[in-house]
Amino acid sequence: MTATRITVRGDSPYDVVVGAGVLGELPALLKPGVRTVAVVHPAGLPEIARPVCASLSDAGYDVVALPVPDGEQAKTVEVAAQLWSAFGRYGVTRSDAVVGVGGGATTDLAGFVAGTWLRGVQVVLVPTTLLAMVDAAVGGKNGIDTPEGKNLVGTFLPPAGVLCDLTTLASMPRADYVAGLAEIIKGGFIADPVILDLVEQDPADATRPEGRHTRELIERKIQVKADVVGADLREAGLREILNYGHTLGHAIERAEHYQMRHGEAIAIGMVYAAELSRLDGRIGADLVERTRSVLTAVGLPTGYRAGAWPRLRDHMRLDKKNRGAKQRFVVLDGLAKPGRLEDPSEELLEAAYQEISR
Percent of the chain at pLDDT above 90? 84
**Cα distance between residue 221 and residue 43, in whole Å:** 29
Q: Which helix (H) or strand (E) holds 116?
A: helix 104-116
Percent of the chain at pLDDT above 70? 97
Find the mean pLDDT for residues 95-108: 96
Find the mean pLDDT for residues 88-113: 97
Q: pTM value?
A: 0.93
Q: Which of 107, 142, 171 is the last residue of a domain?
A: 171
The residues that bridge with 84 in the sheet, in sequence order, are: none
Above 90 in pLDDT, residue 4? yes
Within this chain, do residues 190 and 72 fall inside the same structural domain, yes or no?
Answer: no
105 belongs to an annotated ligand binding site: yes
Burial of 294 (0-12, 13-18, 19+ CB in 10 A): buried
Instruction: For residue 72, name the pLDDT band (cuts at 50, 70, 90).
Output: confident
Above 70 in pLDDT, residue 276? yes
**Cα distance between residue 37 and residue 198, in whole Å:** 39
Q: What is the pLDDT of residues 128-158, one digit of tens each?
A: 999 999 998 998 889 998 888 778 899 999 9
**Cα distance between residue 26 and residue 51, in whole Å:** 11
Within this chain, do residues 216 and 317 fall inside the same structural domain, yes or no?
Answer: yes
Within this chain, do residues 136 and 190 fall inside the same structural domain, yes or no?
Answer: no
Find the mean pLDDT for residues 93-119: 96
pLDDT at 48: 87
Range of the domain at 183: 174-356
Q: Which helix (H) or strand (E) holds 184?
A: helix 174-190
Q: How far is CA 10 from the centre of its chain?
A: 19
Q: What is the sign, positive or negative, of the torsion defined by CA atoms of 6, 43, 116, 123?
A: negative
Within this chain, do residues 135 and 79 fall inside the same structural domain, yes or no?
Answer: yes
Above 70 in pLDDT, residue 275? yes
User: CA angle at residue 293 from 339 to 255, to 5 degrees?
Assistant: 70
The closest alpha carbon to 58, from 27, 96, 95, 17, belongs to 27
Within this chain, do residues 346 and 278 fall inside the same structural domain, yes or no?
Answer: yes
Within this chain, do residues 118 and 266 fall inside the same structural domain, yes or no?
Answer: no
Instruction: Give Cα separations from 238 to 93, 132, 225, 241, 338 (angstroms).
Output: 35, 21, 11, 6, 10
Q: Which of 140, 171, 202 is the last residue of a domain?
A: 171
**Cα distance between residue 226 and residue 331, in whole Å:** 20
Number of domains in the chain: 2
Q: How many CB atoms lie within 10 A of CB 341?
A: 19
75 belongs to an annotated ligand binding site: yes
Q: Which of 113, 142, 171 is the last residue of a domain?
A: 171
Within this chain, do residues 256 and 140 fall inside the same structural domain, yes or no?
Answer: no
350 belongs to an annotated ligand binding site: no
Q: How many CB atoms lie within 10 A of CB 73?
A: 13
Above 60 in pLDDT, residue 12? yes
Find the mean pLDDT for residues 39-54: 93
The closest alpha carbon to 245, from 280, 221, 275, 272, belongs to 272
Q: Which helix (H) or strand (E) holds 334?
A: strand 328-334
Residue 326 is part of a domain; what is its CATH number? 1.20.1090.10
Q: Please, which residues have CB within 8 angstroms of residue 58's CB and are 6 or more apart in sequence?
A: none
106 belongs to an annotated ligand binding site: yes
Q: Please, which residues have CB within 8 angstroms of residue 163's CB and are 6 or more apart in sequence?
A: 16, 17, 22, 23, 25, 26, 29, 124, 125, 126, 127
Which positions are catalytic?
Answer: 119, 141, 183, 225, 235, 239, 243, 246, 250, 262
Within this chain, do residues 156 and 180 fall inside the same structural domain, yes or no?
Answer: no
Find the mean pLDDT for residues 155-166: 94
Q: How many CB atoms lie within 10 A of CB 288?
A: 20
Q: What is the pLDDT of residues 311-331, one digit of tens each?
A: 999 999 876 555 556 889 999
Per DSSP, the residues of 294-329 read HHHHTT------TT-HHHHHHHHTT-TT-BTTB-EE
pLDDT at 134: 97
Within this chain, do residues 183 and 264 fall inside the same structural domain, yes or no?
Answer: yes
How much is the mean pLDDT over the chain? 94
Within this chain, do residues 139 and 179 fall inside the same structural domain, yes or no?
Answer: no
Q: What is the pLDDT of residues 16-35, one digit of tens each?
A: 999 999 999 999 999 999 99
Within this chain, do residues 129 and 9 fall inside the same structural domain, yes or no?
Answer: yes
Strand order in the sheet with 62-68: 4-8, 14-19, 161-165, 122-127, 97-102, 36-42, 62-68
Within this chain, do residues 100 and 194 fall inside the same structural domain, yes or no?
Answer: no
Residue 78 is part of a domain; what is its CATH number? 3.40.50.1970
Which three-class secondary structure state does DSSP give residue 102? strand
176 belongs to an annotated ligand binding site: no
Find the mean pLDDT for residues 8-21: 93
88 belongs to an annotated ligand binding site: no
Above 60 in pLDDT, residue 336? yes
